[in-house]
Structure 1
């Protein structure tokens, strides 16, 4: 009798991590206070960043850009005219990629950009429900203000897969390729799956509402608002055939406690790859949903291979 409650609690926990993705694998990067953001003006072009000395790793430069009345932190490690953009999972800020950035820059010579989505890291909070359209607008505005308009390899983990799809749909000419790391894919969010996710996360949302000012809870609540309608719409989004994509799926999936949902997650990834040209499926063996942490070697390899094809 004790096995069933444990499994249910485990399923709720991992479904929460998947459905709202403001918590990933039970760990959330703490948000800094909004007032701590340094007063840096964004440069007109990424090329303003200083080049590193010989044999020394390149330094990341902070650019505070403004979009739709709020400021966002973009971190740029300057390289050549190819740009790798690393977009973090739900509840994570740009520090999720801190160990990969110097390696990517050293191995590829490309410019590497990370950023903090609204309400995370050094970026300002935007009140109200989380909207993927606003997140896409923030990313596009940041890249344009940094002078990045083409040759972009977009790397998206978890919830950022939604941003990647909408961004690619409307800005395919900016992208030379993408690596989707255990990312949200439209094929997963079916009419059967969405209500399961909403029901499973209700206890976590109710708990978060008791302390709504906590940054992690604020993100959880904002993402939960309008979840059903947003993901019914996301289910209909298609990836452009002109943009090659590598889809990485963790072996354990974010739904390790629910075999049925975990298989649905895997099936969605396989379906995405079959639905268009230039798509590759890679399984991150031994990894939880936190693939960048568990298998940084594999993430690095897949990004570098995608960037190499763009030369």
Structure 2
């Protein structure tokens, strides 16, 4: 991956996102994904499904990323588990229509759950959420008890991180990048960045007040370098938030991705796959 692209993704995350041992798996390789265009709330949303057995494993990428973020991990996961694998493009990204107005993780959660319902995924899914998708996962799980059997939150946005002081720091750090994005709205990534910035303060103050449901097991995979590599204060706050989340309820596990940047699914795909397998084994007991 080009260094400038990786750096841009880390900057996005740092300033605005804060933003499998299967039984009976066939030896034959799984079929490739098929795309389903689903209408919801006046928008067309693209979901990509690799067929397999239940429980479905749903992969949700971080801010500015579409379903292609999982292009290497998804087929490995399908082969290892035999499970149905679902990826999707959040509104405004990939093959999905734009969502007018500021970023709203509750609306994004509604898009995700509506799409899963149309696909027949209504119970006991394993949700894998990276970065900004941690917000979507939280609201989706709170709003639809029973939909999510467990979650792997991969260097994800967690409520504990977004104190008033941290929100203020992020807004200040992100201002130059946001201004540049607003000046060039021609790309989907820039439009999403501007939309996230527009609602960043109220959205994350509200997010700080919510709690992950205690009855839903969660594995928190936190990167060693975090989105804030080079800022010891913010690195510490990110790690402290992950540890606080893990302590706040039963059925939670904290795992550190040693040596990894914020892009844990890219840097340590085997670790992520292994934690998905472990979580699935826990929830299927």
Q: TM-score, normalised by structure 2?
A: 0.91
Deviation at 1:239, TM superposition (A): 0.6
Between structure 1 and structure 2, the one with the greater Rg is 1
1:11-50 residue pairs with structure 2 within 5 A? Answer: 16-21=12-17
Sort the Cα spacing of 1:12 and 1:54 in 2 relative to 1 into closer, same or farther, 3 A.
closer
| Deviation sequence 1:42-92 (CA, Å, 0-9, x none) | xxxxxxxxxx99623321111000100000000011111211000001111
Q: Distance in 2 between matches of 1:164 and 1:216?
A: 21
Sort the Cα spacing of 1:168 and 1:19 in 2 relative to 1 into closer, same or farther, 3 A.
farther
The residue number in structure 2 matching 1:279 is: 252
Deviation at 1:248, TM superposition (A): 0.3
Sort the Cα spacing of 1:286 and 1:54 in 2 relative to 1 into closer, same or farther, 3 A.
closer
Secondary structure of 1:209's partner?
helix
1:1-311 residue pairs with structure 2 within 5 A? Answer: 16-21=12-17, 55-311=28-284
Q: Distance in 2 between matches of 1:80 and 1:131?
A: 32
Q: Distance in 1 between matches of 2:142 and 2:253?
A: 19
Note the residue ranges of structure 2 that are not aligned, 5 or more in a row.
1-6, 20-24
Sort the Cα spacing of 1:269 and 1:119 in 2 relative to 1 into closer, same or farther, 3 A.
same
Q: Tell me the C-alpha RMSD between the 2 structures.
A: 2.0
Q: Distance in 2 between matches of 1:81 and 1:211?
A: 43
Q: Distance in 1 between matches of 2:13 and 2:220?
A: 19
Q: TM-score, normalised by structure 1?
A: 0.84
Sort the Cα spacing of 1:171 and 1:130 in 2 relative to 1 into closer, same or farther, 3 A.
same
Q: Distance in 2 between matches of 1:12 and 1:97?
A: 18
Deviation at 1:18, TM superposition (A): 2.2
Q: Distance in 2 between matches of 1:13 and 1:206?
A: 16
The residue number in structure 1 matching 2:22 is: none
